[in-house]
Amino acid sequence: MAERQRLPDEIFDELVDLPASARRARLDELCGDDAPLRAELASLLRAWDDSGDFLSRPADLAAIVLAAAAAGEGDEAGPLPPGESPTGARDRAGQVIGGWHLRRLLGSGGMGDVWLATRDVEGAQQKVAVKIIRAAILTPDAMRRFRNECRLLAGLDHPGIARLIDGGVTDEGVPWLVVEHVEGRPLDAWCDEHAVDARGRVRLLMQVCEAVRHLHRHSILHRDLKPANVLVDADGRPRLIDFGIARALDLADDDVEQTLTGLERMTPAYASPEQLRGEPLSLASDVYALGVMAYRLLTGEPPYAGRRRWELEREITTTVPRRPSEAARLAPVAAQHLRGDLDTIVLAALRPEADRRYPSAEALREDLERYLDGRPVRARGDSFTYVAGKFARRHAAAVVLTVVAVAALTVAAVTGFTLYGRAETARREAVRQRTTAEQVSGFLEGLLAAVDPMSAGTRADITVRQALDEAATRLEHELAAEPTVAAALHLTIGNAYVNLGLFDEGGRHLDAARDLYVSGRAEGVDDLAMVAVRQADLAIKQGRLAVVDSLMAPALTATTAPVRVGAQLNLSRLRTEQSRLAEAEEAARTAVTLADAPGLEPALAVQTRSQLGTVLYRQGRYAAAETLMVDAGRAARETFGPTHVLTAEAAQNLGAVLTALGRPEEAVLAFGEALAVYERLYPAGHPEFAVTLSNLADAESAAGRHDRALGNYERARGVIEGSLGRDHVNWALTTNGMAYCRWRLGEREAAVPLYHEAIKVMAAGLGDSHPWTAVTRNNLARVRLELGHADEAEALARQSLTDLESAFPAGHAYTARPLTLLAEIALGRGDLAGAGVLIARADTLTGASPVAGGDRVAVGLLTARRLRLTGHKAQADAVLDSLQALVAAVPRPSADLLARIAAAR
């Protein structure tokens, strides 16, 4: 019987003290048949063994308790617990701890004391900083919480980070650790003492950002960045020296509530708003601290005057810091050097909303580099749209101005396309555009007056939806005699409705625009083609695939470049949904080529590459798809910022690829990034939010968190049902995910009707032999097999195999799924030879992949099972060992896959 009542960390503590030869037997005894527990402990033991001698010695118990707290000259003194005295610092001079001779006290703080120490190494004297931890703040739980964290920090190797060297426990049981001693001055003091100019300070900040980037790439947050924790050494290089409250990014909040030294230990003046409020942290939390450091380094004072936590929380939420150039009256850097780009960069890093800051230290570093090079920076001041959005709940005029701005820009873009027309029509088009622009302007002025409470007496809490409704009403009555203007505004308003997720309203306006152009009442070169692009895009979103080809016809013969790009994009999306993937790839590559033409909007380049990546993903070419998705995301983030819709779309697409690559934990982070943007930009009930939520559930399920995934599937299905209806394919895909979770949770009977519902909707909307229908049918077959209906399961699996082989190019990994299930049925019937043939075919499809997703693991497990049945236990174990190594090789391995492998042993 497994000792599940004990925490894994408690069992781990016992196992690491055993000789390696004795661990396996004790592991068997403690875990019994608890496969998830065994997998978790095996993973911890491998990480322990991989960490080297420093973490493998019994004397290192204290070192693995604490994150790498380095030369503590930046520690701030704090009150001691009641009845506790200091650690006896004054009495330790001359003592030897772990072979290190304590020489003099460097500093004291709430954690303990830091000593300069030396040790003779091959005739040379090595200087280090020894931090002796206050014993009273250590508890068994705290020691366990920090074990994994220190293991991460011990692996850091960067010239801008003080290295963790050694650690142990004194004879009195007091933990200590040793880090590289950095002889230097705090960053701000060093700059002042050396009269460093603005550009020199920016270069130093860039080096600090590089060190922080190294932490982030190792999934570590510093959480206490400040000038006192950055010492500049004799070579002029800044070094990060204190990781006393650092923590691993991939530790969930409910797994590790607080770090040992982070119980109340932070520097409030440098803490992000979310850290002050005790909320979950992200890379942007460290970016905020870097922003405070930059502000102070460049101005000589902090961005906010408050010192206590409650004062800072109030200031951050109610005031905006002065621009650095305005605060630099007494600064060592002249204000004129700060005005402009540096003002913008620093304030962008200090935004209260985490999702509006730079997404990473690397992004901040890159903008500082652009400033030094004289190139345009990516950061922008708060836009009109952002400010107006916050104002809109109280003031109608601001809302309407936002709509006016969007409408005017869109109309200008639509009419601007005519400039690509033939030369002989240019003069006539110019006259038409000028007349149209004047009429549009008059219409919008009237709209503004109609909803302005000062002039019309309307209420002041008008929403964007209400402003659009007012515009639609006035359009019908006021512009009946101006069809060209009306068509342009119908297109603009229709687009706005669609972007709000109001598809029916948007469709009506797009239809009206099309009717005006088709009838000849409205004029414009390729304007009908642009309407066709928008209508086709809407039809794809709604799942009305059968009408898209006819809607697209005018766009496919367009002459203007943006319309041609949009047409090829839609064609690729349509063919992807229809699983005509060769045609989808051809259209996507054509779109990429067209979008790269000089003078086109950069958004088109992002969208086309993202779509090509989607096609490759659907073809099973995951590595190539990942490369494209990463490139698209980088371009979107650099061009539009971290909170733009295109950035979110790129993150979502990358998440799908990461899930397929067997890296669900990374996928969860990508989908979370996308959701944060969608929640901020879209109204409640928007279909895109539901799609992303469903994709997040896919990743959570792949990671083994089926309860959480099921909740997100149910939430997504509710949104889809309300916005798109129960007959939409996204509703069916989400239902399939719900059924899978029910099965994995052991609720087989509950999964069956969900699978039937999903198959019915998919067959009606996509076709009975569509790959999604086939995959869902195969999922149903597995459940029916486990319920004892092998003949029915075999028939379903064979139909699935036939459909997938017809839909996908030869070698697609998805066809391994029914092959695996058919092999399992054969094994159950004792047909070892037949099972071997099927397993070999499945292995050919999945074995070429360098990663281990769920499909490859399933084939490997079945291979091992057959080997055991044929008496080849050693070979079966070798297969499982290889499979386990492959799964564990990714940065954040799937605990679910590791557990399934462990259960097969």
Show which residues are catalytic. Answer: 224
**Whole-angstrom distance, CA of residue 222 vs CA of residue 283:** 9
Question: Going by C-beta distance under 8 Å and a sequence separation of 6 or more, which residues neighbour residue 623?
Answer: 661, 850
- Number of residues written out for the chain: 905
Contacts 24+ apart (CB under 8 A), 416-419: 417/524, 417/525, 417/526, 417/527, 417/530, 417/560, 417/562, 417/563, 418/524, 418/525, 418/526, 418/527
Taking every pair of C-alpha atoms in the chain, what is the biggest distance, in angstroms?
A: 96
- CA torsion, ordered 220, 223, 228, 232, to nearest 10 deg: 20
**Whole-angstrom distance, CA of residue 676 vs CA of residue 672:** 6
| Tokens standing for residue 379 | 């950061």
| Tokens standing for residue 70 | 């380095």
Q: Return the axis-axis angle of helices 548-556 and 561-577, rounded to nearest 10°.
A: 160
**Whole-angstrom distance, CA of residue 287 vs CA of residue 867:** 53
**Beta carbons within 10 angstroms of residue 282's beta carbon:** 22
| Tokens standing for residue 370 | 């652009």
Angle, CA 57 vertex, CA 55 and CA 62 arms, to 5°: 65
Q: Return the axis-axis angle of helices 706-723 and 687-702, rounded to nearest 10°.
A: 160
Number of H helices, E strands in the chain: 42, 11
- In 335-424, which ranges are continuous DSSP H helix? 335-338, 341-349, 361-373, 384-391, 396-416
Task: List the one residue out of 707, 706, 629 whose CA is nearest residue 671.
Answer: 629
Task: List the one residue out of 793, 790, 833 whose CA is nearest residue 817.
Answer: 793
Q: What backbone phi and psi angles, to 5 degrees, belong to 644?
A: -90, 155
**Whole-angstrom distance, CA of residue 288 vs CA of residue 51:** 32
Task: List the one residue out of 534, 558, 562 whose CA is nearest residue 548.
Answer: 534
Contact indicator for 808, 814 with CB cutoff of 8 Å: yes
Amino acid found at 131: K
- Is 139 in a helix, a strand, or coil? coil
Angle, CA 845 vertex, CA 839 and CA 846 arms, to 5°: 85
**Whole-angstrom distance, CA of residue 893 vs CA of residue 643:** 28
Question: Residue 710 region, left (φ>0) first, then alpha (ψ -120 to 50), else beta?
Answer: alpha
**Whole-angstrom distance, CA of residue 526 vs CA of residue 416:** 10
Task: List the one residue out of 603, 676, 682, 588 whose CA is nearest residue 635.
Answer: 603
Gyration radius from the chain CA atoms: 31
**Whole-angstrom distance, CA of residue 585 vs CA of residue 348:** 39
Task: List the one residue out of 543, 549, 544, 538 whose CA is nearest residue 513.
Answer: 538
Distance set, CA 257 to CA 244, 247, 279, 281 (Å) = 16, 11, 10, 12
- Is 170 in a helix, a strand, or coil? coil
Contact indicator for 157, 163 with CB cutoff of 8 Å: yes
| Neighbouring-strand partners of residue 903 | none
Q: What backbone phi and psi angles, to 5 degrees, belong to 508?
A: -65, -40
**Whole-angstrom distance, CA of residue 699 vs CA of residue 900:** 17
Question: Going by C-beta distance under 8 Å and a sequence separation of 6 or more, which residues neighbour residue 524?
Answer: 414, 415, 417, 418, 432, 484, 487, 488, 517
